[in-house]
Amino acid sequence: MSTPKILILGAGYGGLLTALQLQKKLNYNEADVTLVNKHTYHYITTWLHEPAAGTAPADHARVELDGIIDKSKINFLKGVVESIQPDEQTVTLKDKRVLSYDYLVIGLGSEPETFGIEGLKEHAFSIRSINAVRQIREHIEYMFAKYKNEPERTEYLTIVIGGAGFTGIEFSGEVADRIPELCKEFDVDPSLVKVYNIEAAPTALPGFDKELVDYAMDVLTRKGIQFRINTPIKQCTPEGVILATGEEIKAGTVVWTGGVRGNSIVEKSGFEVMRGRVKVDEYLRAPGYDNVFVVGDCALIFNDQGRPYPPTAQIAVQEGENCGSNLVALIRNDKMTPFVPALQGTLASLGKGEGIGIVGQKKVFGSTAALLKKGSDLRYLYKIGGVGLALKKVRL
């Protein structure tokens, strides 16, 4: 067989870690590996709530691929994937270039899940990329500036965060931290600013330990977040949101964090999906295609109780590493290793110096949780870019 061609779509947690594993384990010319990504950089999605609120610059969450990829082992192609033709073993890019492969890795991440709520797609922002968070930050600032020119329009100072899951809670913490600074910069009376977090489920952070949820809500309420739990949003309009109760909340900014589904390219390419995610086999392969691997938010895996694992960076990283190792095994005619997630815990930030989480069996709160989260961020940066990258990006 000629040199096998491996094509990796997406340089997020799953795709990048697949590429880095191949880079580490493959000998020169053992495979022809190409990584395709929309941008020349990888972004730390788990930090995006900070630049979205404006508490950190967007560039901070961005890592240039040039600095972490060994070009003698991995070809990098900047391009936007349009479709996959698994029967022909080809991928078409937006500019109509067609790429062929022997092995494909799909790591195209997620899209907002709007649950059919009218107007969300059109009128709400979502925290999903460097470009998206730049726009959210600018929009909030623009709304403050606009209010100063139309002081009767206090709704410009209202921010609605749809969803009190992980992302919604982390974003709420950052927004709360940013408000005093914005009020000072734009000469705005802080009592006029309102930040609502609206959640349809009967609790914030569904699935989390009650003590941790109570702690998070208490911290955020004290920081000024107004929670509306058990309150579905029925519609999003250019003026704000309408709740299932019929109440309208007028808001200059609506940010939807209520859930994600797998990238729609996967479904459009004919793969069988559930909420956009492919139910993969034990080696992360798509049903019916032994040469197509799916990692990260596009992949659906289940725990022992038959419940789907939520899409997380932690799992995406582990899947990428497993997928890279299994590709090397395949090329060398060795045995592949089934994927089994090794969950190390979950940590959520609640703004500067505050957090909650579970590490092993232990619950952690406050500055301990915040510090542990920084530690886990550092470990990830070290993994992808060594000490240099970790030191460059660390913010205490």
Q: Kindly determine how many residues on this chain lie close enough to bind ligand FAD according to the rule CB under 6 A.
A: 32
On the 0-12 / 13-18 / 19+ scale of CB atoms within 10 A, 253 is: buried
Based on CB atoms, which residue is closest to ligand FAD, 81 or 254?
81
DSSP string, 177-235: HHHHHHHHHHT--GGG-EEEEE-SSSSSSTTS-HHHHHHHHHHHHHTTEEEETT--EEE
Q: Which residues in the 59-98 window bind ligand FAD by CB under 6 A?
A: 80-81
The rounded distance, in Å, linking the Cα atoms of 143 and 195 is: 13
Q: Which residues in the 7-26 window bind ligand FAD by CB under 6 A?
A: 10-15
Task: Answer yes or no whether residue 107 interacts with ligand FAD by CB under 6 A.
Answer: yes
The rounded distance, in Å, linking the Cα atoms of 230 and 202 is: 4
Binding residue (CB under 6 A) for ligand FAD from 6, 8, 48, 195: 48
Backbone dihedral angles phi then psi of residue 48, each to the nearest 5 degrees: -65, -20
The rounded distance, in Å, linking the Cα atoms of 157 and 3 is: 59
> Which is nearest to 195 in space by CA: 257, 131, 119, 112?
257
Q: Tell me which of 50, 170, 174, 319 is the catalytic residue.
A: 170
Stretch that binds ligand FAD, among 83-91, 197-205, 207-215, 305-313 (CB under 6 A): 305-313
Catalytic annotation present for 170? yes
Based on CB atoms, which residue is closest to ligand FAD, 156 or 256?
256
Which residues 6+ apart lie within 8 Å of 173 measured at CB? 49, 219, 220, 223, 349, 350, 351, 354
Task: Answer yes or no whether residue 37 interacts with ligand FAD by CB under 6 A.
Answer: yes
Draw the binding track, 310-349, toward ligand FAD (x: CB under 6 A; -: no contact): -xxxx-x---------------------------------
Stretch that binds ligand FAD, among 6-14, 62-70, 98-106, 141-149 (CB under 6 A): 6-14
Instruction: Report the nearest approach of ligand FAD to the CB of residue 171 (Å).
Output: 6
SS3 (DSSP) at 261: strand
Q: Which residues in the 232-271 window bind ligand FAD by CB under 6 A?
A: 263, 265
Which residues 6+ apart lie within 8 Å of 317 measured at CB? 13, 14, 17, 380, 383
Instruction: Report the nearest approach of ligand FAD to the CB of residue 298 (Å).
Output: 6
Tell me the catalytic residues: 170
User: Site residues (CB under 6 A) for ligand FAD?
Assistant: 10-15, 36-39, 45-46, 48-49, 80-81, 107-109, 127, 166-167, 170, 263, 265, 296-297, 311-314, 316
